[in-house]
Chain A
Amino acid sequence: MTTSVQLAARHLTRHFSVRTPGRLFNAKRVVRAVDDISLDLVAGDVVAVVGESGSGKSVLARMLARIVTPTSGDLVLQGTPIAIKSKRTLDYASQVQLVLQDPFASMNPVHRMSHNLLRPLLIHGASKSDAPAMAEAALRRVSLEPPSRFLESYPHELSGGQLQRVSIARALCIQPKVLLADEPISMLDVSVRLGVLNLLRGLCDNERLAILYITHDIASARYIADSVIVMYAGQVVEQSRGTSLVDEPTHPYTQLLIASVPDPSDPTRDTPPTGERAQAAIADQGCRFSPRCPHVMDRCRVEEPPAFIVGEDHSSKCWLYADHETAVEVALPTRRKEGETATT
């Protein structure tokens, strides 16, 4: 089967200008929230974006959902280029749906689930007679049985896990091809998180949905994803097909991220060095991670590194790999390239 790219993003960039406090005449400063990110969302594939708060991962999701207008870049939906500066069309929304972090905040609390589910169906052109059956079918897809019971309930009557399933059902009821999930499990109880992750994986495998899974939890990314992207300060610092990035991290930030995850299976492990303090740790010039990087070199402070190929379908934006071939296309290569093995 040929890989069918549902949604392709090229060089997506979003800058925000903010006022610097305390300066006369409102001196403006530019925050590069997302800087030159390219990725492909393929049917039947989960792409995980991992990053800390403030890394720009949510802005990326909102740009892909076309809620935030990119400063520059291109979007291609199923082969059709999208005019990024124009208003989002209904057709685009019917293909690309977003699920948000907080299920309690994303449901209207004064309406029953039936209202919350029927509204998107009616907006997207379902007839009034068909809509209830479609809503029930959507609830069944997310394993909420019996659907009639859930249609009748209000948001406060459901648990967080159930509500998140309803919001996934709401996104799915109009049969989109792409699902953008922005931290879908971080507000949920630990014991129900896996259920939602397994649901997303199942939708991807069984219904060939293209899923973007945004998280700060690299362990859950490893669990669910076909490819993983690590973001730092608005840029992709490392990406890999499969989970080689988690198993053999090459970028110092990814290494730090992984070393910071609690891992009770290794009681002898020392606390990792955490780099410099997080305050003002994003460099304006050179590599953005350089102020915190334990391997920082002179070059890092001046020149921004390109992405180097460090393994099969695995690239890392770090000068440590300067002797490796640079990745031509930043998006994950669909064709496997010959790459060298990483040396540290």
Chain B
Amino acid sequence: MTTESLGVGDVVKSGSPMIRPTNLTSSRVVASTIPDEGAMGERILDVRDFSVDYGWGESAVRAVDGVDVHLDRSMVLGIAGESGSGKSTLVYAITRLLRAPGVITSGVARFNLGSSDDGERVIDLVTASERELRSLRWSSISIVLQSALSALNPVVRVGAQFEQVLRAHRRDMSKVQRRARAAELLGLVDLDEDRLDRYPHELSGGQRQRIMIALALALDPQLVIMDEPTTALDVVTQREIISELFELRSRFGFAMIFITHDLSLLTELADEIVVMYAGALVERATARELYEAPRHPYTLGLLDSFPPMHGERTELTGIPGSPPDLAHLPTGCSFHPRCPFAMARCAIETPPLIEIEGTRRSVACWLQVGDAGVSVPVELSRVSTSNASPAERVTEVSS
């Protein structure tokens, strides 16, 4: 970890409106105690007003629009959304893995490296130098990608891929130690040591994904990002991998960002869930609250899109229409053309993401906002009445 820049009191907010991920040599390094933004404490990641565009100028398409997310140590944040909602773009941008034409156009992503004698060490990932990022990646933040076959090098044996990571980050380890560590890591994900001598194509999809997870944990990171780690796997393998993952988390205490389109999976495993639609956050709540009382019509529609495993077979409607084209977003709330609750206002004004009073949850929907701009909690009823008209499904909560 580079330490020469620590203690520079400069609060980092980049001056230029456009920070190209590929051109960072001139960016200022931000690693300081950041006194005026408050100590992060248990918070490990704090992302504010984060926007990402694809392309420049006239043709730019906004893929992530002013997103705020944060994550506490050892917690699991779930990001749910459909393809094109910007969920993967968001984490690639935060970890600065985003390639051109992706551009971070605004925001800070403060990452807490933990406390030391001179206070907290906080780094802004958006302005961090390539060198700092390199030391951070894998050792503090690691990522598991959706397609393990394309993430693993197909012409290199699995053992050598562990070897590369350990050699790059742990200079003090001997060859024998590295091999032992690789075998130990495979043991964590219930694979035999002999897999180290295999090539990726000789392994099944589930085994490859396990290797990706073992690789991600190789350097004991504080934050592990999972980008649809189980989407390509069948449900039994998915269940095995998820339960292993959570066993490992309770052992090592890393925080996790879990990205998936499968909201029913997320409600089982995440502590907090944010739902993205067309690049923006539409709802944030704890997993149980989100499942039991979704407040945004899109969340409600998503939850109703999974046929239940119990009870009467009733016809479900899902969400009419199709996800919007980011280059031609509807005016106002981007969900309004598909929304069964849409009002005149929705087509004109974009609802802000506001916190519902007295709760820790936020939602971006005009239904939840009174005339004075004060949030009026409105509950949307779930599956049982999915054939009811929109008006019947809204009940004001008398609090």
A residues at B contact (CB < 8 Å): 52-53, 159-162, 189-195, 197-198, 216-220, 222-223, 243, 246-247, 256-265, 267, 271-272, 274-275, 277-279
Contacts and interface: CB of A to CB of B under 8 A. Distances in A.
Nearest to A280: B204
Contact of B319 (A191, A220, A271, A277): A191
6 contacts: A159-B322, A192-B318, A193-B305, A219-B306, A264-B291, A271-B239
A45 to B, nearest CB: 15
Contacts of B83: 160, 189
A275 B310 CA distance: 24
Given A53-B234, A260-B235, A278-B237, A161 B322 contact: yes
Given A189-B322, A267-B288, A278-B206, A262 B316 contact: no
Contacts of A218: 235, 309
B262 A219 contact: no
A219 B234 contact: no
Contacts of A195: 318, 320
A87 B317 CA distance: 42
Interface string B215-249: 00000000000000000011111111011000000
A219 B307 contact: yes
B309 A246 contact: yes
A263 B190 CA distance: 25
With a 10 A CB-CB cut-off, give which of A216, A243, A277 has the most chain B CB atoms.
A277
With a 10 A CB-CB cut-off, give which of B204, B302, B305, B309 has the most chain A CB atoms.
B309
Interface in B173-208: 190, 204-207
Interface size class of B (residues with CB under 8 A): 35 or more
Interface in B262-302: 262-265, 267-268, 287-288, 291, 301-302
B60 to A, nearest CB: 20
Contact of B204 (A190, A256, A267, A279): A279
B192 to A, nearest CB: 9
Contacts of B307: 194, 197, 219-220, 222-223
Interface of B: 82-83, 190, 204-207, 233-240, 242-243, 261-265, 267-268, 287-288, 291, 301-302, 304-310, 313, 315-320, 322-323, 338
A264 B234 contact: no
A52 B322 contact: no
Given A191-B318, A194-B317, A262-B268, A277 B234 contact: no
B309 A219 contact: yes
A189 B261 contact: yes
A221 to B, nearest CB: 9
B262 A190 contact: yes
Given A52-B236, A222-B309, 15 more contacts: A52-B237, A161-B322, A190-B262, A191-B305, A192-B319, A198-B315, A219-B308, A260-B235, A260-B239, A262-B264, A264-B267, A264-B287, A264-B291, A271-B239, A277-B190
A150 B264 CA distance: 33
Contacts of A223: 307, 313, 316
A159 B323 contact: yes
B323 A257 contact: no
A264 B322 contact: no
With a 10 A CB-CB cut-off, give which of A194, A246, A259, A279 has the most chain B CB atoms.
A194
A274 B310 contact: no
A274 B240 contact: yes
Given A189-B261, A191-B82, A194-B317, A258 B236 contact: no
A242 to B, nearest CB: 10
With a 10 A CB-CB cut-off, give which of B264, B288, B291 has the most chain A CB atoms.
B264
A189 B268 contact: no
A194 B315 CA distance: 9
